[in-house]
Amino acid sequence: MKNKKIYLDEEEMAIANAYDRGELVSMPISRNLREQLRIVARNTLNKNKNMNIRVSERGMMLLKRKAAEKGLPYQTLASSVLYQYGSDRLVEKN
């Protein structure tokens, strides 16, 4: 398998550096919370709907290029962008 580059934003880099310095400590969680988190993760990651869209050749090329830069399949990137936009975590520039 090919090594994939991982790109971290500032916050993620700060967390990774704190981890490397041994500054982070695991916190125990209850079985109830662990099960709730497991259910949320399963529901979040469950991709059970198909969506077919038509995009321009240039749009597809740009999407595939951006996905390759991030080391992701282009469908995963497209799904992530749609989810982030729909949940107001991705906003338009003015």
User: Could you read off the pLDDT of 38-63 as tens digits, one per residue?
Assistant: 887 777 767 778 889 999 999 999 99
- What is the value of pTM for the model shown? 0.52
User: Could you read off the pLDDT of 11-44 as tens digits, one per residue?
Assistant: 989 999 999 999 988 888 888 988 888 887 777 7
Query: Which residue in the block uniquely carries the two structure tokens 């989810």?
Result: 83
Compute the distance between CA of residue 57 and CA of residue 50 in angstroms, rounded to an integer.
Answer: 21
DSSP per position, 3-61: -------HHHHHHHHHHHTT--------HHHHHHHHHHHHHHH-----------HHHHH
Q: Is the pLDDT of residue 1 over 50?
A: no
